[in-house]
Amino acid sequence: MILTKRQTERRGLGVYFLCDCSGSMSGERIALLNLALEKGFVRLQELAGQYPDLGIHLNAIRFASQARWHLQNLALEGPLVWPSIQDTGGLTCLGAALLLLAEQFRQQPAAERQLPPLILVLTDGKATDDVAAGLDRLLATPPGRHAQRFSIGIGEEVDHDMLLELVGQHRSRLTLTASSMELPELVRGYLETGLRQAGQLRQPA
């Protein structure tokens, strides 16, 4: 594949969704999470035209009793479809998801043209494993430490303090919502904020 000059000059931007797929997310909540991320994909493609020098790659980790990759390193080029999460059940191992992401960052080669990633956590409950250990491991990596970290807590059972730890000093990057109906608009808003910030950070070649 021959890259154009513009493609070779792009600054890389990784977008990472961490999606709660535990038992409490079944039914309407997982359906609306899928809808929110499907619309988020569309919005990212619209926004990409405003930032032609950003090379955006999409990633998603799903977590319940275990954490695993749902989508990895998908280039934001051409028509994209969010691969819906169909099955839910089990615990809420957010710590395992953070460890999985930290390991990905640890293995990434240092890249001068890579911008700090955008991480968005979506969950409706209290983690059932060690989130602090996962977050410490994530923050021990340069991408994790400098990332734009956003959180959306859904419903009444969510652990506010835990999500606040995830976003650090940026309280505006945490939203608690009583209704999963608000997810599409919240996801869209955070993606717009994240890309706007990334656009401000990019440097000329």
Q: Which domain holds residue 29?
A: 11-116+129-146+191-200
Evaluate whether residue 68 is within a structural domain.
Answer: yes
CA 91 to chain centre: 20
Q: Which pLDDT belongs to residue 33? A: 96
* pLDDT tens-digit map of 57-99: 999 999 999 999 999 999 988 778 899 998 899 999 999 999 9
Query: What six digits make up the tokens of 184?
Result: 């599409």
Query: What six digits make up the tokens of 6?
Result: 């513009």
Q: What is the CATH number of the domain that holds 96?
A: 3.40.50.410
Alpha-carbon gap, residue 151 to 160, rounded angstroms: 10
Evaluate whether residue 176 is within a structural domain.
Answer: no
> 18, 167, 6: which is closest to 77 by C-alpha?
6
Q: Does the predicted TM-score (pTM) go above 0.85?
A: yes
Evaluate whether residue 97 is within a structural domain.
Answer: yes
Q: Which pLDDT belongs to residue 171? A: 86
Q: Which pLDDT belongs to residue 108? A: 86
3-state percent helix, strand, coil for the chain, nearest multiple of 5: 45, 25, 35
Residues of the chain with pLDDT under 70: 1-9, 111-113, 201-205
DSSP 49: T
Query: Do residues 156 and 162 make contact, with C-beta atoms less than 8 angstroms apart?
Result: no
Evaluate whether residue 83 is within a structural domain.
Answer: yes
Query: Do residues 58 and 124 make contact, with C-beta atoms less than 8 angstroms apart?
Result: no
Evaluate whether residue 165 is within a structural domain.
Answer: no
Tally of domains in the chain: 1
Q: Which pLDDT belongs to residue 204? A: 41
Q: Which pLDDT belongs to residue 80? A: 81
Evaluate whether residue 161 is within a structural domain.
Answer: no
